[in-house]
């Protein structure tokens, strides 16, 4: 791209840049990564890169500019921290000065597979592998689209540039700042490429509800009967594993929108955790770690043989693989599906009191969507000696700029409009809490999910859980009936009652922050506490 492209960058505040590489191919970016010693080529063909001190998101370093555009719309708090416009301009000015004379890489692409709702984005960075990451993760523009590309949002990522916390009033030298008025995201002092992906998704999560589109941090797939399913779930709940069913077509594994046209993937690729990945357990994802075009973050590589070791977590347990969607054999090339027939809320209940499956009313679905519950188990973190609840609103709290009520209202409206069933599936413990009971058998969970998606539980009679109010099916193909009632799996029924009431109280305590902003129906859909 010639002067027109350079002029476009100047209009965005980028002046005096060195060599500008526009929309390079995967092979070309490989060459630049190796030329610049940004990464190493594995024996199997993937690029291996290190992200330094930041091996995951810097949640405390994220801000949204507070101005006339956002002041009355953003749900301000710890997650969505406000940042002053004048400080943004001063920081951005120093950042652009830092980039003067530097070699930069530009990728023009799209977010959102539905043409009616896709957003043209531009990613500018001085790291070649970050440009490849953008090319993998977002939807590539055709040659004609690239020629006429007008970005609605631009991400400028300069990992080597640091903020001055005293001057910029950031929390550290690292920053991720979204400016909706300027249609600009700036990122500095972090090589973790996921910041680019998640900041763009945060933008979509802010904009789409104003167009009656529900953005979702969720996986989606399609069965052979053409019925779409949505899977919500926090880390460790089995979202990726259960949605990656070889018998179903994968729409996407992370971020989707639900419009009046149906479901659409935000992404053009996947960003999977690869620690301890095996060919036996997850063959499709494992194969991508040995494929040209994949970026492996913080995966250990042998200096002599250039073989990778997916079981070595010495750099971080959060090792990642970034690869285009077309590397997954059963992935949808369109990235779209019809309106879902079923929504599945996955939780890993380490307290062992929630049923393995329950049918939800619309109000219950909205309640549990807002609460976004799972549990950490003892021993996974320092100081955690017993199961501890984790709540993330809408199952994606760090990336939701609006009040959770707004997303829940859209969920309820669409469930009603399109006649969608909602289910609660517990992949956690049964027969007692972590340390006493045992993990739900994976074959039982798969049988439950298959029965849900095939409609086999639609007409099955249910019993009502007296504490949580959940409708529990009395039978499910492939699952012993005694497993379906969690209280029946405990030897000590009194201990179950105590634990169940404890968790119900934690549900209620967490929901207090949302209670004044939801309908009476949703507020009453939570657990009943004596």
CB atoms within 10 A of CB 10: 13
Beta strands in 392-447 (DSSP E): 421-426, 429-430, 438-439
CA distance 450 to 432: 25
48-73: average pLDDT: 95
Those residues with Cβ within 8 angstroms of residue 430's Cβ, 6 or more apart along the chain or in another chain:
352, 356, 437, 438, 439, 440, 483, 486, 489
CA distance 226 to 249: 9
Q: What is the pTM of this model?
A: 0.94
Bridge partners (DSSP) of residue 257 are 215, 264
What is the DSSP secondary structure assignment for residue 23, as one 8-state letter?
S
Count CA atoms within 13 Å of residue 16 on its CB side: 8
CA distance 396 to 168: 28
Nearest to 138 by CA among 29, 288, 266: 266
CA geometry: angle at 358 spanning 354 and 359, to 5°? Answer: 150
Taking only the tens place, the pLDDT of each residue in 451-495 is 999 999 999 999 999 999 999 999 999 999 999 999 999 999 999
CATH class of 3-39+57-211: alpha beta
45-55: average pLDDT: 95
Based on DSSP, count helices (H) and strands (E) in the chain, helices before strands: 15, 31
Residue written as token pair 């005293």: 166
Q: Which residues have a catalytic role annotated? A: 57, 198, 217, 235, 239-240, 254, 320
Taking only the tens place, the pLDDT of each residue in 387-413 is 789 999 999 999 999 999 999 999 999
Nearest to 255 by CA among 157, 395, 142: 395
Nearest to 248 by CA among 279, 268, 272, 220: 220
pLDDT band with cut points at 50, 70 and 90 for residue 240: confident
In the chain, CATH 3.40.449.10 covers 3-39+57-211
The whole-number pLDDT of residue 5 equals: 57
Those residues with Cβ within 8 angstroms of residue 514's Cβ, 6 or more apart along the chain or in another chain:
370, 393, 404, 405
What is the average pLDDT value for the chain, to the nearest integer? 94
CA distance 395 to 365: 12
Q: Per the structure block, which two tokens stand in for 383?
A: 């100081």
Q: Per the structure block, which two tokens stand in for 236?
A: 């460790």
pLDDT exceeds 80 at position 202: yes
pLDDT exceeds 50 at position 275: yes
The whole-number pLDDT of residue 2 equals: 44
pLDDT exceeds 80 at position 268: yes
Nearest to 53 by CA among 187, 165, 191: 191
pLDDT exceeds 90 at position 238: no
Per-residue H/E/C for 413-459: HHHHHHCCEEEEEECCEECCCCCCCEECCHHHHHHHHHHHHCCCCCC
Taking only the tens place, the pLDDT of each residue in 350-371 is 999 999 999 999 999 999 999 9
In the chain, CATH 3.90.228.20 covers 339-523
The whole-number pLDDT of residue 159 equals: 97
Q: How far is CA 378 from the centre of its chain?
A: 24
Q: What is the CATH number of domain 339-523?
A: 3.90.228.20
């Amino acid at each position: 791209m010639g002067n027109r492209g350079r002029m476009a960058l100047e209009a965005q505040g980028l002046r005096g840049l060195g060599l500008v590489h526009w929309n390079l191919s995967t092979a070309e970016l490989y060459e630049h990564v190796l030329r610049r010693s940004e990464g190493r080529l594995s024996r199997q063909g993937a690029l291996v890169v290190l992200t330094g001190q930041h091996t995951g998101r810097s949640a405390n370093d994220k801000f949204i500019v507070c101005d006339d555009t956002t002041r009355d719309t953003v749900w301000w708090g710890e997650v969505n921290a406000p940042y002053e416009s004048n400080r943004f301009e001063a920081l951005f000015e120093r950042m652009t000065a830092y980039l003067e004379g530097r070699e930069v890489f530009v990728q023009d692409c799209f977010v959102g597979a539905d043409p009616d709702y896709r957003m043209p984005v531009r990613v500018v960075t001085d790291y070649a592998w970050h440009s490849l990451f953008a090319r993998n993760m977002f939807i590539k523009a055709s040659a004609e689209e690239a020629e006429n590309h007008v970005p609605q949002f631009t991400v400028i990522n300069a990992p080597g540039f640091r903020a001055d916390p005293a001057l910029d009033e950031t929390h550290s030298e690292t920053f991720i700042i979204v400016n909706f008025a300027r249609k600009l995201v700036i990122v500095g002092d972090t090589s973790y490429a996921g910041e680019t992906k998640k900041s763009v998704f945060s933008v979509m999560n802010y904009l789409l509800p104003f167009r009656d589109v529900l953005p979702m941090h969720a996986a989606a797939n399609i069965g052979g009967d053409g019925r779409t399913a949505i899977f919500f779930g926090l880390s460790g709940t089995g979202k990726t594993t259960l949605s990656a069913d070889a018998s179903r077509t994968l729409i996407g594994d992370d971020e989707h929108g639900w419009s009046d046209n149906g479901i659409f993937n935000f992404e053009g690729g996947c960003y999977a955790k690869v620690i301890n990945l095996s060919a036996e357990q997850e063959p499709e994802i494992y194969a991508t770690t040995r494929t040209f075009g994949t970026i492996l973050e913080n995966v250990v590589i042998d200096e002599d043989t250039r073989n990778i070791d997916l079981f070595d977590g010495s750099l971080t347990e959060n090792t990642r693989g970034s690869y285009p969607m077309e590397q997954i054999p059963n992935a949808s090339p369109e990235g779209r599906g019809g309106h879902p027939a079923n929504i599945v809320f996955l939780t890993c209940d380490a307290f062992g009191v929630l049923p393995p499956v329950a049918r939800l009313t619309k109000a219950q679905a909205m309640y549990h969507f807002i609460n976004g519950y799972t549990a950490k188990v003892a021993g996974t973190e320092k100081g955690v000696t017993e199961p501890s609840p984790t709540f993330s609103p809408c199952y994606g709290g760090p990336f939701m700029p609006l009040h959770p009520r707004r997303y829940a209202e859209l969920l309820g409206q669409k469930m009603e409009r399109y006649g969608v069933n909602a289910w609660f599936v517990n992949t956690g413990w049964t027969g007692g809490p972590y340390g006493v009971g045992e993990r739900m058998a994976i074959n039982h969970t798969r049988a439950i999910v298959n029965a849900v998606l095939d409609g086999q539980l639609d007409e099955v009679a249910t019993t009502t859980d007296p504490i949580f109010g959940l409708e529990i099916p009395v039978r499910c193909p492939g699952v012993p009936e005694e497993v379906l009632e969690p209280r029946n799996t405990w030897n000590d029924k009194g201990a179950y009652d105590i634990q169940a009431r404890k968790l119900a109280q934690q549900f209620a305590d967490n929901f207090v922050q949302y209670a004044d902003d939801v309908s009476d129906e949703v507020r009453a859909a939570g657990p009943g506490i004596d």
